[in-house]
Amino acid sequence: MRLPGSPPAGHSSPASAPGTERCCDDPAALLLSITSLSHGPDGVARHGARVVFVPGVAPGDRVRVRLVEERGSFARAEVVHRCAPGPAYREPPCPWVSACGGCPWQHVAYPAQLEAKARNVRDALGRIARVAATRELRIIGAPHEWAYRHRIRLHVGNGRELGYMESRSHRIVEIGACAVADPLLSALLAPLRRLLPALTMRLRSIELMTNGRGGTVVTAVADGPYRETDTRTIVRFLDDVASVSGVHLAGRGWTRSFGDPTITVTPDGTTPSIRQRPGTFTQVNTDANHLLVRAVVALAAPAAHVLDLFCGAGNLSLPLAHAGAHVLGVDRNGEAIADAAASAAAAGLTRVRFEASAAEHFLRQQGLAGAELVVLDPPRSGAAAVATQLARLRPPRILYVSCDPATLARDVGTLAAADYAVDRVQPIDLFPHTEHVETVLEAVRR
């Protein structure tokens, strides 16, 4: 397959050779060499003293670019011509990749993605927290590059078009299939596009999930009240689409469920499963989540008493208890806590209990509750207030699970100021073809 911007086979030109100062006809275009991938989705180059961020490029690429935004210390640019693709560049397989923006690293070979993610974690800890790990463990790649998402969120337009939101835009991109989604989810796009105009109520967003039992679940957020006239349409949809086990709708002040909208999650492939209702959090990459859970359980040993903050439905709590620890799971979502407790009871796990509470409030009221290890897995925004409380309470060890290196580093800086050392750091890729990376960090009280 010929690379975009490269000459036809058998053709050579001095304009395409690395090091040339002319490889396109735009005299205003700058020639740049891409050195790395940024913490965002872009490639990084330098022009004089200024950092230039360029989308759609890979390390080693030589490109002509046009500046589209200029600031004091950095600029943003767009590619005019790819003069010489680097060894990490490849043709992205998804025809919607440039419009959708959900997988901005598809054009980067997977080993280079992993290298960039590990470096970005290290750089964030050094630049923001001013710490380095005693033991930085080799990044763990996802088991599968493609078709790994068990959950996707789609938007519904005013014309009832269905798709992903274009990057930095409100335009909806109507994809035909999603290269990173489980094929069961892509197969629902056509039936849903037939369903939407048949409904009298307007849906704002739709989330599709595999249910862990060979089928799928559809959940949606609606504008306005529920329309009873839509009941027959939804029941017919369930009858017609055999893979869908349940539909769950939510609007302001109301919810309606049809069929069985619960999902079943097995955290590490061996631990007893968790039954979750709609709206409770699950990791998007089921197979990579197994690797994450195993890493947390391994790093947690030999702790006998564990406090699991932001525990959700028990993705980490239940495996830790199954491994022999006494675990107290805390989360502000009462429904997730109820699901966790029910799953623990069904599995006969007696070493784990759960409490519905905001993590910061729990720490203020109950402290560490006898735990020698605190595990926390907060949302992307991090846990600034909780880090402050942990710095005050000073547990012997902390395992911080994060999907954002910047907020992780910010909170680790708080712990470092309280005389914690960063021992082990384990990056794990749950999100191939994006800049996002999961990290398990162990902080140890000096």
- Do residues 160 and 274 share a domain? no
pLDDT at 243 over 80: yes
Q: What is the pLDDT of residue 11?
A: 32
Question: Is residue 371 in a domain?
Answer: yes
Residues 112-154 pLDDT 10s: 999 999 999 999 999 999 999 999 999 999 999 999 999 999 9
> How far is residue 199's CA from residue 57's CA, in Å, rounded to a whole number?
42
- Do residues 18 and 43 share a domain? yes
> Residue 345 contacts by C-beta under 8 Å, 6 or more apart in sequence?
none
- Do residues 245 and 272 share a domain? no
CATH number at residue 210: 2.40.50.1070
- Do residues 321 and 358 share a domain? yes
Residues 289-346 pLDDT 10s: 999 999 999 999 999 999 999 999 999 999 999 999 999 999 999 999 999 999 999 9
Q: pLDDT band at residue 40, thresholds of 50, 70 and 90?
A: confident
- Do residues 317 and 338 share a domain? yes
The pair of three-digit structure tokens given for residue 210, joined into one six-digit string: 């595999």
Candidates 238, 252, 245; CA nearest to 277 is 245
- Do residues 140 and 288 share a domain? yes
Write 234-237 long-range contacts (CB < 8 A, 24+).
Answer: 234/195, 234/199, 234/258, 237/191, 237/195
Question: Is residue 6 in a domain?
Answer: no
What are the residues facing 257 on neighbouring strands?
Answer: 248
- Do residues 237 and 273 share a domain? no
Candidates 269, 372, 354, 374; CA nearest to 314 is 354
> How far is residue 219's CA from residue 279's CA, in Å, rounded to a whole number?
8
164 — phi, psi (to 5°)?
-90, 155
Residues 183-229 pLDDT 10s: 999 999 999 999 999 999 999 999 999 999 999 999 999 999 999 99
Mean pLDDT score across all residues of the chain: 93
Give percent of the chain above pLDDT 90: 89
Give percent of the chain above pLDDT 70: 94
Question: Is residue 3 in a domain?
Answer: no
> How far is residue 251's CA from residue 7's CA, in Å, rounded to a whole number?
54
CATH number at residue 59: 2.40.50.140
Candidates 395, 391, 390; CA nearest to 363 is 390
Do 275 and 339 contact (CB within 8 A), yes or no? yes
CATH number at residue 379: 3.40.50.150
Overall domain count for the chain: 3
Annotated catalytic residues are 403
- Do residues 284 and 405 share a domain? yes
- Do residues 139 and 164 share a domain? no
Question: Is residue 351 in a domain?
Answer: yes
- Do residues 191 and 64 share a domain? no
Mean pLDDT of 32-54: 94
> How far is residue 125's CA from residue 411's CA, in Å, rounded to a whole number?
10
- Do residues 271 and 401 share a domain? yes
Question: Is residue 399 in a domain?
Answer: yes
> How far is residue 290's CA from residue 186's CA, in Å, rounded to a whole number?
23
Question: Is residue 312 in a domain?
Answer: yes
What are the residues facing 51 on neighbouring strands?
Answer: 46, 74
For the entire predicted model, the pTM comes to 0.92
**Domain span holding position 218:** 151-263
Question: Is residue 244 in a domain?
Answer: yes
Q: What is the pLDDT of residue 441?
A: 98
Cis peptide before 267 (omega within 30 of 0): no
Question: Is residue 70 in a domain?
Answer: yes
